[in-house]
Each structure stands twice: as C-alpha cells, then as structure tokens.
Amino acid sequence: MRRVLPIAHFCLIIILLSASASPAFSEDINTLIKKASDGDPVSQFNLGSAYEKGQGVPQDFSEAEKWYRKASESVKWFRKSAELGNSGAQFILGWMYDHGAGVPKDAAEAVTWYRKASVNGDVRGESRLGSAYEKGEGVLQNYYEAAKWYRKAAVRGESGAQYKLGWMYANGQGVPRDYAEAAKWFRKGAEQGESKAQLYLGFLYANGQGVSQDYAEAVTWYRKAAEQGESRATFALGLMYSNGQGVPQDYAEGVKWFRKSAEQGMVEAQFILGIAYNKGQGVEQDDAEAVKWYRKAAEQGYYPAMNLLGASYIAGKGVPQDFVQSYFWFSLATSRATGENYIKSNSGREHAARMLTPENLMEAQRMTKEWEAKHPRK
C-alpha cells in the first residue's frame, strides 16, 4: 500500500510554494513560532537557528536542538512524497538543499530535485533550474541552458522567469541581444508586479531601448518598483524629479526619493544626497549633513565620496579641519580613481601631505593601510 503525506503536509507544500525564495530570519518571532508549531519545516529550522544564536529569543541550545530535530522529521515526509513523484514536494526539497534549510546545503542535490520537479511540470522548478545554469550553482554555468529553462517558466507565466529572460535578452546572454524582446518579457513580469522587471522596463523607456523613449512611462514603472522597495528604482525616480524628465522638475521630491534609496544603502544615492545638502538643493543647506552622507558612501568604497570627504576635512566644512583625515580619505580615493579623477585625488592628497608633520603623515598612512586591510575590494 502506497504511503501518502497527511493533509497538513500537502497544505504546507502549497503554502511553501508561494513563499519567498529567501530563508532569512526576518519575521516576527511569534509568527515564526506559530508557523514552526504548525509544522512548517523551514520555520522550524529558522526557529532552531534563532534559539542557537539568541536572535529574538533567549539563547537556548536544547530548544535549538528540539526544533532542528522537528525540521529534520518534516524533511523526511517531503523526501517520501518527492520520491513518490509529487512535484511540489520535489521543488520544496530542492529549495531546502538550495538554502540549507533543514538539510545540509548542497547545490548539486538541489538541482537534482529541481529537475525532477520540472519534468513533472513544476514551473518554479523550471525557473530555479534556469537560475542554477545562469549562476553555475550545482551545474556548469551555461547561459543557453539558463535561457531555455527561464523561457519554459516564463511562457507559463512565472514572473521571476519573465524578468530573468528579459535580462538575458537585454544582455545577450544565452540568446542574441534584443532590446525589443527584453522589453516584451520585462513587461510581462512587470504587469504581474515583479519589481525588478518594473525597474528595467522603466530603464528601457528612459533610454529608448526596444521601445520609443518615453520619460513619463519610465517614471510610471520606476514608481511601481520603488513602491515595492526597489532601491535602484527609488534612486532613478530621484534623478527623474531632479532633471525634470517625465515629471515637472522638483528638487525636494528628488531628495525625498534619494533619501529613501540612501537609507536602503545605495551608495550613489548617499553621495547625491550629500551633494544636495552641500548645495542646499531640495533641502536646507547643511554642511554637516552633507559630510554625513559622503561618509556613508565613502565607507562603502565609493571614491567620489572619499574625494569630497577629503576636501571637507581640508576646508573644515561640516567637520573640524583635520589634515590627517583629509590625507586618509584622499589616499583611499587616489588608489581607486583613474585618469582625470586620479589626478584630482592625488592633488588633494599631496596638498594634505604638505600640511602634515612626518609623524602625522606616518599616522595617516598607517590608517590608510589598516582601512584597506579591513575592506578588501571585490
């Protein structure tokens, strides 16, 4: 007699199939506990991790072990169902191996189960296979295969695959570069609410690639993506308002969107927000605020911000005058800049150096070396 999963586990498959692809612990701890208690293996694993690390709950290794064990038991049920050919269970088991949720992380094993799910008609399995081939995770990287699997899922309406297929057409990966075809697939994903598809459709309209240039249409799609928290879209909206493209020019509205993007950590937005405060454009002029945002961008390795931070320390503008700090930031900028930008950064560094004693110069150079060692370049 064939053994089948209880109703609760089949319902769980449906719930997990509509879940996000990220296993990160980011939800309210009470919600996590409830979901774990209801039998969700991913939540059980995440709750075990929370107890192990003391995140949101007191650190408790016995509780961690208990929830890890429950997750492991749930995985056994998924494996039984997957081995009996249930495509939903096959996809979930692949997802678990992909993310190390309740099982050891194993990209090759994830691909095995994604492939089984795809053969049995699971559209998310097709999309995940596309991603595996695109990134070379668990299989040899192969853009042609990636495009093939993305297309299978995209034709069936999977919004993430539609976005990715559009991306591959826009970049000529696995398919000939074709902006019109990219726009077609971005639009399909965008109309389903895929934020990255909305962002790139807006980009194509702004640049007239694959579609007639239309700034107002670009703003429409940027706004849709920005409202979903897409930091590059909030930055793009800031640019459109600042430049008066597709909307009346409005520096204050531009700053509003730059700030949203900057607070999400986008380095270019942090830099431009600093410039807005420096010039008093869209906000009240404030040198200290300008330096604050230059620093955030500089600490991410953005050399234009390092340059302006170095200049701020030389002039004592927004910060106390400090030639050691000035040399430090100009030196970091110089090591990253090229061409005319290198000449400007180096000139600032040399100016700061002339104002330093030999001891202070050695200190500034030591600071530079330490910072570089702690911030390896990608």
| Tens of pLDDT, residues 197-254 | 999 999 999 999 999 999 999 999 999 999 999 999 999 999 999 999 999 999 999 9
Residue 68's domain spans which residues? 1-105
87 in a structural domain: yes
List pLDDT tens digits, range 305-329.
999 999 999 999 999 999 999 999 9
Roughly how many angstroms between the first and final C-alpha of the chain, as a whole number? 56
224 in a structural domain: no
pLDDT surpasses 50 at 13: no
Across the chain, the runs of DSSP E, i.e. the strands, are: none
pLDDT surpasses 90 at 80: no
pLDDT at site 146: 97
* Cβ neighbours, 10 Å, residue 224: 21
25 in a structural domain: yes
28 in a structural domain: yes
79 in a structural domain: yes
pLDDT at site 27: 57
Residue 119 host element (H or E): helix 107-119
* Cβ neighbours, 10 Å, residue 242: 22
179 in a structural domain: no
* Amino acid occupying residue 291: V
Q: Which residue has the higher pLDDT, 128 or 74?
A: 128
CA-only gyration radius of the chain, Å: 26
113 in a structural domain: no
pTM: 0.78
C-alpha span between 218 and 245 (Å, rounded): 9
81 in a structural domain: yes
Please state, rounded to an integer, the average pLDDT across all residues of the chain. Answer: 88
How many structural domains compose the chain?
Answer: 1
